Amino acid sequence: MTSRKVVSFENIKVACKNCSLATLCLPMGLTADDVERLDSIIKRGRPYHRGDHLYRGGDKFHSLRVITSGSVKTYSPNEDGGEQVLGFHLPGELIGLDAIQDDSHTCSAIALETTAVCEIPFSQLESLSCIMPSLQHQMYRLLSREIGQETEMLTLLGKKSAEERLATFLLSFSERFKQRGFSASDFFLSMSRHEIGNYLGLAVETVSRLFTRFQDESLLRVERKHVQLLDIPRLYDIVQGSDSAKSTQSRV
Amino acid sequence: MTSRKVVSFENIKVACKNCSLATLCLPMGLTADDVERLDSIIKRGRPYHRGDHLYRGGDKFHSLRVITSGSVKTYSPNEDGGEQVLGFHLPGELIGLDAIQDDSHTCSAIALETTAVCEIPFSQLESLSCIMPSLQHQMYRLLSREIGQETEMLTLLGKKSAEERLATFLLSFSERFKQRGFSASDFFLSMSRHEIGNYLGLAVETVSRLFTRFQDESLLRVERKHVQLLDIPRLYDIVQGSDSAKSTQSRV
DNA sequence: AAAACAACTTGATCCACATCAAGAATTTCT
DNA sequence: AGAAATTCTTGATGTGGATCAAGTTGTTTT
């Protein structure tokens, strides 16, 4: 049961061009030559263990990081001891973009499980992008995409019900796992209910109740961190808001 | 009373180096020469009137825009006819960064009053930033700052009370007006209560009630769109959350 | 294996804010 | 200027989700 395969860090490809994540994390439209040059500045660090910080708010910024395996939570510690979870990051995703602004990290990043990352020294990336227009273009796009994603999150937090939030959350993971070649309907969430609630602007209890309710409604099966989505179309209906979910059901 | 001065568009400075907004919208650290070159690609369009769209979601992206006078609301129209207000933008602020991603606007921008903008054709800006490392650096910083600002908004919507949201909103305008050489405590808001509520994830009625309450508590004076902040320190206390606002009051 | 702890679930209660409703003030239209 | 449509305010009521409380399950420590 618990014999999940442990990632062997000795197998990590040391070149971007051989990396299975390349299509995700590497700017499209780079020539093989470009990739080679980009590759030359990337550093592979030791793996982090669950609970290790990749960086903390206030740390001097020097590198962007691409998750290569495992998962990471970013959060901003707020005045009164609490925190706001800003995101959960899967292999192929880039973090640290918010720190370019003033050369220091504005939020913290912590490994949710054993996690490996590639570090991209930003000053070198910048220099490189000066002489590689396609890289520069991709950097702009990447930063812009980040803005767009946060914008969606604003709508989620500003207008959506608890139900819609959790459905959106689950489908986001579904899509991202699928992109990475994993099952879109059967996966493990590496974060706690508390962290999900914090991220979605909900109380832990609400998240727990929603999981139970979704299960009762045969939308999914859940046992602790293991989630199986049973009715993805209906989850999408829920995301759409209003009561289209139920009407779809009766329309069948 | 209503004889507010109308901005004369004939006085608009046609060169960035003479523009009073330069310190706000122009990347710091550009040489006079750099500014000249940047200036050469900027287009000044005709002014927009209240209700005119600068662009709409789905429009092809070609230019970033800097507000030079007036104010703009950005919003993303959501499926069911409603909208999510994403931001309110004042002179010196840059909009359109979210559209770089896939060459089309993901949100809409509409003038809240008579508004003038500078357009910066992005492809030209990009080319220019290739040969001007300092411009490139500033572009990265600008994009990163945008991400950071949205992150703050996530915390606002995820964790803050209605009271904290409105206080944050008011102080944001206070600070921005101050930066632009206007009064930090006496200003006009160009958007409706409805738009404020939408932006802050609150109902119109809640916003209205909060204005009344803040006034009753002598935090401010408000008449329609005209706001006078009377106790800025206490507003900051409210932003901090918890009940520090009241305790500060009694500590005096 | 027992003890201590952390994560999760479930039920009961509460409250901040939404929603509904209606009137007042303001702006826009004719 | 008067009518019509908006925008804003205020009050009454409702409710989604928070909070409080307690138990359960799973994990870590010793």
Which chain A residues are closer than 8 Å to B198 by Cβ?
158
What whole-number percentage of chain B has pLDDT above 70?
Answer: 83
Strand C: positions under 7 A of a protein C-beta atom:
7-12, 16-21, 26-27
Residue A181 has a CB neighbour count (10 Å cut-off) of 7
Q: What is the pLDDT of residue A13?
A: 45
Residue B85's DSSP bridge partners are B75
Q: Answer whether B98 sits within 8 Å of A143, measured CB to CB.
A: no
Q: What is the pLDDT of residue B11?
A: 40
Distance, in Å, from the CA atom of B118 to the CA atom of A174, rounded to the nearest integer, reads 42
Residue corresponding to tokens 């986001």? A172
Q: Starting at the edge strand that comes first in sequence, how are the strands of the sheet with A186-188 ordered?
A: A186-188, A226-229, A220-223
Q: Tell me the pLDDT tens digit for each residue of B66-95.
A: 999 999 999 998 766 689 999 999 998 999
Residue B73 (CA) to nucleotide D30 (C1'), in angstroms, measures 61
Establish, for the pair of chains A and B, how many residue pairs have beta carbons separated by less than 8 Å. 132
Which chain A residues are closer than 8 Å to B97 by Cβ?
143-144, 147
| Confidence class for position A244, pLDDT limits 50, 70, 90 | low
Which chain B residues are closer than 8 Å to A129 by Cβ?
136
Backbone angles phi, psi at A57, to 5 degrees: -55, 130
The residue with greater pLDDT, B29 or B226, is B226
Residue A241 (CA) to nucleotide D19 (C1'), in angstroms, measures 26
Maximal CA-CA distance, chain A: 59
Angle at which helices B133-159 and A193-200 pack, to 10 degrees?
110
Residues ≥6 apart with Cβ < 8 Å to B73: B85, B87, B88, B89, B109, B110, B112, B191, B195
**Average pLDDT over chain A, rounded to whole?**
86
Tell me the C-alpha to C-alpha distance, in Å, between residue B100 and each of A84, A143, B180: 28, 9, 27
Q: What is the pLDDT of residue B39?
A: 81
What whole-number percentage of chain B has pLDDT above 90?
Answer: 67
Q: Answer whether B136 sits within 8 Å of A129, measured CB to CB.
A: yes
Q: Is B221 exposed, middle or buried (0-12, 13-18, 19+ CB in 10 A)?
A: middle
Question: Which of B102, B116, B115, B129 is closest to B37 using CA atoms?
Answer: B129
Q: Answer whether A84 sits within 8 Å of B201, measured CB to CB.
A: no
Q: Is A19 exposed, middle or buried (0-12, 13-18, 19+ CB in 10 A)?
A: buried
Residues ≥6 apart with Cβ < 8 Å to A109: A53, A54, A55, A65, A72, A73, A74, A89, A95, A96
Q: What is the pLDDT of residue B52?
A: 93
Does residue A84 contact residue A131 with C-beta atoms inside 8 Å? no
Tell me the C-alpha to C-alpha distance, in Å, between residue A212 and each of A193, A219, A221: 12, 10, 9
What is the Cα Rg of chain B in Å? 19
Q: Answer whether B151 sits within 8 Å of A150, measured CB to CB.
A: yes
The nucleotide lying nearest A200 (C-alpha to C1') is D17
Question: Which of B37, B129, B97 is closest to A131 using CA atoms?
Answer: B129
Q: Tell me the pLDDT tens digit for each residue of B33-51.
A: 777 777 888 888 789 999 9
Mean pLDDT of A52-65: 95
Q: Tell me the pLDDT tens digit for each residue of B155-187.
A: 999 999 999 999 999 999 999 999 989 999 999
Residue A153 (CA) to nucleotide D8 (C1'), in angstroms, measures 30
Distance, in Å, from the CA atom of A180 to the CA atom of A188, rounded to the nearest integer, reads 14
Distance, in Å, from the CA atom of B58 to the CA atom of B54, rounded to the nearest integer, reads 12
Contacts 24+ apart (CB under 8 A), B241-250: B241/A79, B241/A80, B241/B159, B241/B160, B241/B161, B241/B164, B242/A80
Distance, in Å, from the CA atom of B80 to the CA atom of A240, rounded to the nearest integer, reads 9
Residue in B closest to A240 by C-alpha: B79
Mean pLDDT of A29-37: 75
Q: What is the pLDDT of residue A251?
A: 36
| Confidence class for position B3, pLDDT limits 50, 70, 90 | very low
Core vs surface per residue A114-127: b (16+ CB within 10 A) or e? bbbbbbbebebbbe
Mean pLDDT of A146-164: 96
Strand D: positions under 7 A of a protein C-beta atom:
7-12, 16-21, 26-27
Which chain B residues are closer than 8 Å to A140 by Cβ?
100, 126, 139, 143
Interface contact B162, partner A, CB < 8 A: no
Q: Answer whether A201 sits within 8 Å of B84, measured CB to CB.
A: no
Q: Which of residues 47-76 of A touch B (CB under 8 A)?
A: 76
Tell me the C-alpha to C-alpha distance, in Å, between residue B203 and each of B86, B108, B247: 16, 22, 28
Q: Check if residue B226 sits with its Cβ under 7 angstroms from strand D.
A: no
Q: Tell me the pLDDT tens digit for each residue of B227-241.
A: 999 999 999 999 987
Interface contact A36, partner B, CB < 8 A: no
Interface contact B97, partner A, CB < 8 A: yes
Tell me the C-alpha to C-alpha distance, in Å, between residue B8 and each of A114, A206, B70, B163, B190: 61, 55, 12, 38, 18
| Confidence class for position A44, pLDDT limits 50, 70, 90 | confident
Q: What is the pLDDT of residue B23?
A: 64
Q: Which run of H or E residues covers position A25?
A: helix A22-25
Q: What is the pLDDT of residue A28?
A: 65
Q: Starting at the edge strand that comes first in sequence, how are the strands of the sheet with A72-77 ordered?
A: A53-55, A108-111, A72-77, A83-89
Tell me the C-alpha to C-alpha distance, in Å, between residue B16 and each of A193, A239, B126: 51, 45, 18
Q: Tell me the pLDDT tens digit for each residue of B119-146.
A: 999 999 999 888 888 889 989 999 999 9
Residue A144 (CA) to nucleotide C5 (C1'), in angstroms, measures 44
Question: Which of B4, B35, B5 is closest to B21 using CA atoms?
Answer: B35
Best of B86, B98, B129 to mutate (most A CBs within 10 Å, chain A): B98
Mean pLDDT of A238-247: 69
Distance from CA of B158 to the nearest CA of A (A): 4
Interface contact A79, partner B, CB < 8 A: yes
Residue A102 has a CB neighbour count (10 Å cut-off) of 13
Distance, in Å, from the CA atom of B189 to the CA atom of B156, rounded to the nearest integer, reads 20
